[in-house]
Amino acid sequence: MSAIAALIDWPEDSLTEWRLALWTSAELAEATGGLASDEFEVSGVEIDSRDVVEGDLFFALKGEVMDGHRFLDSAFRNGAVAAVVDRKVNYPHILVPDTFEALQALATARRAAIAATACVIGVTGSVGKTSVKEALFAALDRSSHGRAHRSVKSYNNHVGVPLSLARTPTGSHFGVFEMGMNHAGEIAALTRQVRPHVALITTIAPAHIENLGSEAAIADAKAEIFEGLEPGGTAVIPADGPHFRRLADAARRAGANVVSFGRSSEADVRLLDAVMAPGGGSLVTADMGDRRLCYTVAAPGEHWVTNSLAVMAAVRAAGGDLGAAGLALAELEGLKGRGARHTITAGSGKALLIDESYNANPASMAATLAQLGATPARRRIAVLGAMKELGEHGPQFHAELAGPLAAAGADYALLVGDEMTALADELGKSAGGALGKVIPFAHCRSTAEAIEALSAWGLEDGDVLLVKGSNSVGLGQLVAALTLGQG
């Protein structure tokens, strides 16, 4: 059957088998070992009362500072059907000794429930894991006619992963779950919950190097994802870079089949050619061993070419449709904070805003600045926020951004955060030198100062503005200020 015919041919199973209730009260009580106060059904699971919608189950989690039980009234005003609580309340509820342990138990129960029907994919990496997770979901959801599930946003920690599992519909054919970490041992715990059939590592870069000490230690921490692989599972790993052998050895020790992707001549999914597509993006030709694929990637940048190879490798390992994956990549738009593009008013004309405000590390900074340089523009303006969790390596990594900034042809740089002092010092050195030209810049301590500085500098018709930094810097506020009221 051709890819087009496969997309047209609707699955034989009836849509009525795709039940509306995510959980019943009886199922919740059995999974958590709790006591149900009433009979009810829920269509969603939420931990933040502000995000609750009609039909949700609200988990009243307790942290070091906040107690979710304080927000029960808000959750039920927003439409919650019931709550999971550790004390009796005057709302429909499941009473448990510990709400966090109940969430983990619910995740375990749902993972067991989909064991016979769903292929589960786990995604981690230093750069691009959320974007690749979304691309994988789009590809698999298209080929399964809506039977794919994934973790939303960046729900990739000890709370987000079990929450994402608990939200998985029982009729899912695919589940895509992102896993993140700040310290060694964290991914090992998460992958044993997810139990993936396919484990994908996007890349290894010095993110969180402050906590782990070296890139080799980061590679080892990411390789923990293989520890939860189901028997006969597949490890999808980057062939390019110095850590390929380390990752491959870890995968084989876990009993995994290894599939590599990248530009290396030894890669199992190998890039043959990539040319810029009209309107941005790339036309990609890849060798998969027994076949060649030609497809379009809508997202611009060389890093997205590599991301697409990872997606194709994982889709094939999961038994998905490669034709559907190609169509999904051709339509995939940038995510908020991770490459979303906005046309904004600039003087009497329009400017392009590239929103990369959610995350930053040395590798992603260099890749995104290269993307800025490849984007046609009257002027190129880079708003760069500090990169966090680099420890003693921070000043060096920040100063080294001067090279990619110059290579991008930046006409102006706005640096935000104390850590950017090292880059400011580098840019402030005598004109010329290794940079080839003076790049006018301003160094701001806060996002509020940056908004004022950018306003004073002014945007003009034809400008391209890149905004990138670690999420804690708050550059999303600058993006919001610039896009407010825009179409």
What does the alpha-carbon distance between residue 175 and residue 194 come to, in Å, rounded to a whole number?
9
Instruction: Tell me: pLDDT of 421 over 60.
Output: yes
Arithmetic mean of pLDDT over the chain = 91
CATH architecture, domain defined by 340-483: Alpha-Beta Complex (3.90)
407 neighbors 433 (Cβ within 8 angstroms): no
State the Cα angle at 377 between 371 and 382, rounded to 5°.
Answer: 55
pLDDT at 436: 60
Write out pLDDT tens, residues 30-46. 999 999 999 999 999 99
**What integer is the mean pLDDT of 319-348?**
90
Residue 124's identity, in one-letter code, is: T
Give the residue numbers of the binding site.
Answer: 125-131
| Cα(368)–Cα(464) distance, integer angstroms | 13
Q: What's the DSSP call for residue 339?
A: B
User: Domain map of the chain by residue range?
Assistant: 15-97, 114-331, 340-483
Which has the minimum average pLDDT: 51-60, 103-112, 262-271, 332-341? 332-341
Nearest CA to 94 among 65, 63, 79, 72?
A: 72
Q: 410 near 440, Cβ under 8 Å? A: no
Alpha carbon distance, N-terminus to C-terminus of the chain:
42
Percent of the chain scoring above 90 in pLDDT:
78
Burial 216-250 (b: 16+ CB within 10 A, else e): eebbbbbbbbbebbbeebbbbbbbbbebbebbbeb
Annotated binding site for ATP: 125-131
Query: What does the pLDDT read at residue 228?
Result: 97
Q: What angle do CA 179, 325, 311 make, to 5 degrees?
A: 35
Question: CATH homologous superfamily of domain 15-97?
Answer: MurE/MurF, N-terminal domain (3.40.1390.10)
pLDDT of residue 335: 77
Look up the CATH number of domain 114-331: 3.40.1190.10
